[in-house]
Amino acid sequence: MRALTASAVVSVLALAACAPTEAGGRTTGTAYSGGEPQPRRCFSVQQVSNYTRGERDQVFLRVGRRDVYELTAAGGCPDMDFAQQMALIPDGGAVGSRICTDDWARVVVPGSTSRVSTCRVRVSRQLTEAEVAALPPRHRP
């Protein structure tokens, strides 16, 4: 029975990796946010060019030249304030370095009391140009 279950999980993950995409790496599937279906937005981790911490449990990423994504941290990311560098690592189910809205990942930064500090984040949404412009300057990546 376990072999059948493991086989089913592998099949589901393989199918998810083959989801159709549009130009620009955005998936055509939907995510549910606020009760309305929203298109899932995806990016490659290598496209992240800047980041900043927002409120206690927010991290904003600049992806490419224009896109900004909001990450929501489970329990906050305490060492983000003074970090000069960070790594974004998709959680186990992700294939490659591609990550989409509603996916979970880990942010790793140099730690203040240990070598590294890790926090778990969910890619909440891609901000519109108006939302990016409305961010306080200190929160804008």
Distance CA 77, CA 17 (A): 29
Task: For residue 68, give the nearest of 133, 14, 2, 3 by alpha carbon.
Answer: 133
pLDDT band at 80 (very low <50, low <70, confident <90, very high): confident
pLDDT (tens digit per residue) in 4-26: 333 333 333 333 333 333 334 44
pLDDT band at 83 (very low <50, low <70, confident <90, very high): confident
Q: Is the CB of residue 29 less than 8 Å from the CB of residue 119?
A: no
Question: Residue 125: is its pLDDT beyond 90?
Answer: yes
The domain locations on the chain are 21-139
For residue 35, the model assigns a pLDDT of 58
For residue 31, the model assigns a pLDDT of 47
For residue 34, the model assigns a pLDDT of 55
